[in-house]
């Protein structure tokens, strides 16, 4: 009995040790980015002097906000992400509602197509999209990016919202219909408010998808007219590797990540439920 207890304690200690190692690995990059973004430029490279900066400075952030490229691409990123989210939500509500409420031939096939289409390689699909967009003069335009992102986010969002709709009892809308509501009235007054958390989750999912994307923006844009922050950030760090600007790059990384974090903190519960409940279930 005593032996067992000791073993339990050893196991408990082991558990905390593993957790500690994993947590350091998970959190350190974030901590390091934040710290570096407040470091004076001369200490970014002279790391030999120690990890902690001798004083904190906002110079890196000032550099970022004085950078015209960043401001232009930030504007592009915001426009593209917001319009992608709005456009997707609109199409997605209609699509998910139709899948949930109506029966028509080919519906099952449609759902399967949605599941499978999430697995297509982006690098392959982008080749013909680029060829077609080039012909339609959609390359290097914001609308081109919005069209591409809305479609790419659609399968996941529709399946996610369908999950929400499926969890509501059909009798709710039926009751409203019997009481003399029109079909649209029943949807607008009963279903819509109830699936609001799902709609917000879809909106934010699409926003983040467009905000984070790198591959499509890299290929479909070639200057500040339509370039997004993801590509600009990659460019300053890789292509035009501005010597000594790693502090600025870290500051821009923090600014670029903040919207995602904000969105996430607001909707953590919805997003996690959507991920684990709606979309992954085949």
Interface with another protein (CB under 8 A), residue from 9, 58, 62, 127: 127
- Give the C-alpha separation, 113 to 118, whole Å: 9
Helix (H, G, I), strand (E, B) or coil at 7: helix
- Give the C-alpha separation, 87 to 230, whole Å: 21
Choose between 30 and 188: whose C-beta lies nearer to another protein.
30
> What's the min distance (Å) between Cβ of 59 and another protein?
18
Site for another protein in 194-253 (CB under 8 A): 211-212, 214-215, 219, 230, 233-234, 237-238, 246, 249-250, 253
CB 189 within 8 A of CB 176: yes
Choices 52-60, 119-127, 172-180, 195-203 (CB under 8 A): range interacting with another protein: 119-127
Choose between 72 and 275: whose C-beta lies nearer to another protein.
275
Interface with another protein (CB under 8 A), residue from 5, 102, 108, 137: 102
- Give the C-alpha separation, 120 to 159, whole Å: 16
Residue 146 makes CB contacts below 8 A (sequence gap 6+) with 80, 83, 84, 87, 210
Interface with another protein (CB under 8 A), residue from 13, 32, 56, 65: 32
> What's the min distance (Å) between Cβ of 234 and another protein?
5
What's the gap between Cα 166 and its chain centre?
A: 24
Q: Rg of the chain's alpha carbons, rounded to an integer?
A: 24
What the block records as the tokens of 54 is 């001798």
164 contributes a contact to another protein by CB under 8 A: no
Size of the site for another protein (CB under 8 A): 86
> What's the min distance (Å) between Cβ of 17 and another protein?
10
Choices 63-71, 128-136, 166-174, 189-197 (CB under 8 A): range interacting with another protein: 128-136
Q: What is the DSSP letter of 179?
A: T
Interface with another protein (CB under 8 A), residue from 64, 80, 147, 226: 147
Choices 55-63, 168-176, 193-201, 257-265 (CB under 8 A): range interacting with another protein: 257-265
Burial (0-12, 13-18, 19+ Cβ within 10 Å), 47 = exposed
256 contributes a contact to another protein by CB under 8 A: yes
Choices 64-72, 150-158, 188-196, 198-206 (CB under 8 A): range interacting with another protein: 150-158
Choose between 6 and 119: whose C-beta lies nearer to another protein.
119
Choose between 172 and 280: whose C-beta lies nearer to another protein.
280
22 contributes a contact to another protein by CB under 8 A: yes
- Give the C-alpha separation, 34 to 22, whole Å: 19
Residue 46 makes CB contacts below 8 A (sequence gap 6+) with none
Interface with another protein (CB under 8 A), residue from 9, 10, 27, 166: 27
> What's the min distance (Å) between Cβ of 142 and another protein?
16
Burial (0-12, 13-18, 19+ Cβ within 10 Å), 110 = middle
Task: Give 133-137 contacts, CB < 8 A, sequence gap 24+.
Answer: 133/220
140 contributes a contact to another protein by CB under 8 A: no
């Amino acid at each position: 009995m005593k032996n067992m207890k000791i073993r339990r304690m050893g196991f408990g200690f082991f558990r905390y040790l593993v957790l500690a190692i994993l947590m350091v690995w998970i959190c350190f990059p974030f901590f390091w980015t934040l710290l570096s973004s407040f470091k004076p430029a001369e200490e970014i490279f002279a790391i030999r002097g120690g990890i902690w900066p001798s004083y904190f400075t906002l110079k890196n952030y000032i550099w970022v906000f004085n950078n015209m490229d960043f401001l232009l691409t930030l504007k592009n990123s915001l426009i593209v992400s917001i319009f992608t989210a709005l456009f997707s939500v609109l199409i997605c509500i209609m699509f998910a509602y139709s899948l949930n409420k109506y029966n028509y031939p080919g519906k099952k096939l449609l759902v399967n197509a949605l599941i499978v289409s999430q697995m297509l390689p982006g690098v392959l699909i982008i080749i013909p999209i680029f060829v077609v967009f080039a012909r339609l003069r959609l390359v290097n335009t914001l609308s081109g990016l919005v069209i591409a992102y809305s479609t790419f986010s659609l399968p996941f969002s529709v399946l996610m919202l369908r999950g929400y709709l499926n969890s509501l009892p059909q009798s709710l809308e039926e009751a409203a219909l019997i009481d003399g509501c029109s079909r649209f009235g029943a949807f607008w007054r009963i279903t819509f408010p109830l699936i609001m958390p799902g709609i917000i989750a879809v909106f934010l999912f699409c926003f983040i998808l467009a905000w984070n994307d790198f591959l499509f923006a890299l290929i479909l844009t070639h200057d500040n007219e339509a370039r997004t922050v993801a590509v600009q950030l990659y460019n300053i760090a890789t292509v035009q590797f501005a010597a000594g600007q790693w502090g600025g790059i870290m500051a821009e990384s923090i600014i670029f990540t903040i919207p995602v974090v904000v969105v996430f903190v607001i909707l953590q519960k919805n997003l996690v439920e959507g991920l684990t409940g709606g979309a992954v279930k085949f």
